[in-house]
Structure 1
Amino acid sequence: MRLEEVRGVLEDAELSPYQAKTFLALLKLGDASVSEIVENCVVPQPRIYDVLRSLDEKGFIETYEEDSLRARVVDPDTLVDELETKSERYAAAAEKIDSVWEQPPIGEHHIEIFNDFKQVVRNAIDGIQRANDSVTIAANGSEFLQLKSALMAAKQNGIVVQLSIHLEQSSNTDIDDLEPYLKDAASEVRYRHSSSPFLTLVDANRSYFGVPRRGRGYGMFVQDQALSSMLFRYFQDSLWGRWDVVYSDRSETFPKKFTDIRSCLTELIPHLESGERLIATINGYETGTGSETTIEGQIIDVVPDPDSDSSIYESREVTIVVETEDGTYDVGGFGAVVEDIRATLITIEDSA
C-alpha cells in the first residue's frame, strides 16, 4: 500500500486530512521543525500549530521546544493499536452484515425442501451452532450422536437445550449408556418409548423436520412463526410433556431459565402466590415489528389468574405481564400474536 493510500485509511479512522498529512510527513522525517513539516505536508502555516497540538493530545506524536517548536513520532503503537481495533470492528461488522443478509428477514417465511435426510441433519447442526437462546430437539440415538458436538458447544454458551430422545429397538445402546453425553449436551432430557420424525427448533423461529427412510429420506427447513409454532406445540404435546425426565440441570433456586411459557408459569405461580417479587428478563421478538428485543422488569400479573379454574396447560391464553422502566409489556409464548413480545427465553430471578 502506498503512503497516499495510508492517508486515506487514516482519514477513515477519523483523522482530519491535515492531521493525516502531518502525521505521515513526521513518520518520514522522524524529527522536524515546523517549517520542515509544512514543506513536506502542504499544510498552511497558520494551521500547523493546532494540528500538531491535536496529534500530541491524541498521543500520536510528541512536540517539544528546542530554539523553536519541533515534533516527532516517538512510537506509532498508539495509532497502530487504534487502527487494529477499528479493523477488527469493521471485520466483525462486515461478518454480521453478511450473516444477516443471508438469513430470511424476520416476519417473512422461508421454506426449503430436501430429498436427502442427511441434509436436514447437516442444516440442523448449522442452526444449532447459530442459536442465541434455545434449542428443542426430538431425535433417536444415532441422530443425537451426530448433533452431540454442536449441542455441547451450545450448552456451554448458555443455550437452553431440551432433548426428547428415543432409542430404536435394534440399538445396542441403552439410555444409561448415553447419560454422560446427555449431561454435557442438554439442559433437560426426556426419554420416549415411541419413535417420531426428527425435529429441531432453534430460537423459536427456525425448524428442521425430517424423516429417514431406506435410501435418502426427506425433510424441510422452515422459518415461519406460524408453522414453527405448530411444530413446537406438537413437540410439547406429543414428544415432551407425557414422557419421563431422565436428566435435568434445573436448579431448585433462582435464577431459572425457561423456553416454554407454560412450564415457566407452572413453576412460578406458587412463588407469586406467596408474595415473592420476581424479576424477569425476556429475550424474544416484538410481535408488531418482528424485531429482536430484550426487556427486564418485575412480573406484576399472569394469565390465567392463579385463582381461576383454568389449567395453565389447557388455557388458550397464557401471558406474563412485566413492568419495566419503559412501561408494561404483555409477554406471550412461542406462538404469541396479540401480546407485545413473543418470548424465546425467559430468565427468572428472585429479588429477595
Structure 2
Amino acid sequence: MVLKDEMLARLRRTFDLNLYEVKIWVALLSRGVSTAGELSNMAGVPRSRTYDVLESLERRGFIVLKLGKPIQYIAIPPQDVVERAKKNVKEHAEQKVGNLEQLKVGDMIKNLDGLYKKGINFIDSTELSGALKGRNNIYSHLESLMKNAKSSITIATSEDGLANQVEAMKNILESAKKKGVQVKIVAPLTPKNAESAKKLKSVAEIRNVNDIDSRFTVIDGKQAVLFVLNDKELHPNYDIGVWLNSQPISNALSHMFDHMWDHLQKK
C-alpha cells in the first residue's frame, strides 16, 4: 500500500515527524518486521540516515528493536502508537507548564518585568496600540485586558461572536463580576446562540440588537479592541483586531454603546 503525499504530510503534522521518519515508519508498518537496509530501499531514505531515523522512532515508541541477528525492527500497532504519542505530548506539555510556572516566581521574570517597565516609561500611552492577527491572538489579548478591568466591560458582538468569543471568556467575565466589574453585552439573539446567551446571563446583562453586526469591546472606558472584518464565513486565522489604548476613542465607543443600550430591550 502506497500512501499519497497528502497522507504523509498529515502524518508528519499529527505525529511531529520529519519526512525521513514518516517514510521509514510507513515502510515498516507495511512489512511488520524489516532490516534497516530493506527499509532504506523501500522508503527511498539514504542508508546513512536510516539508522538515526530508526533510533529516533525507537526512542519515541513507534518501533521496537528485535532481539537477535540480523538486526531487525518490529512495527508497533498504530493504535498503540497513538496512545504513546498522546502520553508523550501530555508529559511534554506538563513539563513545559511546570517550567513556565517556575518562571513566574523566579528571578528571570523579575528581570524581564524590570526591562519592560523601564522601557514602557519612555513610551507615550497613546502609542500603546496595535494590530492583532488571528482570532486566538485577539481573544488572548482581550482576556488580558479583562483580567485587569476595574469598573466596566462592554461588549458588542455578532450572532456567532456571542457563541465563540464571549462564551469562551465566561470564566474571566465571571471573575470580573465577582470583583464588582459591570459587564454588558449587546448582540443579535437568535435560536442559534440562545444556549450561549443563557449561560452568560449569570455573569452579564445581555440585550438584543438586530440592526448592527459590529464587534468591539471597551474596558473601563480606557482601552478598546475592535474587530475589523465581518465574521460570517471568515476563517478564524484571518480575523483582524485593532487594540486602542486611547481614552478619547474608548470613551466615544462607550457613549455610543450606552446610547444603544438605553434603547434596547433587556433579555
The TM-score normalised by the length of structure 2 is 0.47
Bigger Rg over Cα: 1
Relative to its length, the structure with more strand (as a share) is 1
**Normalised TM-score (structure 1):** 0.37
Where relative contact order (Cα < 8 A, 6+ residues apart) is larger, the structure is 2
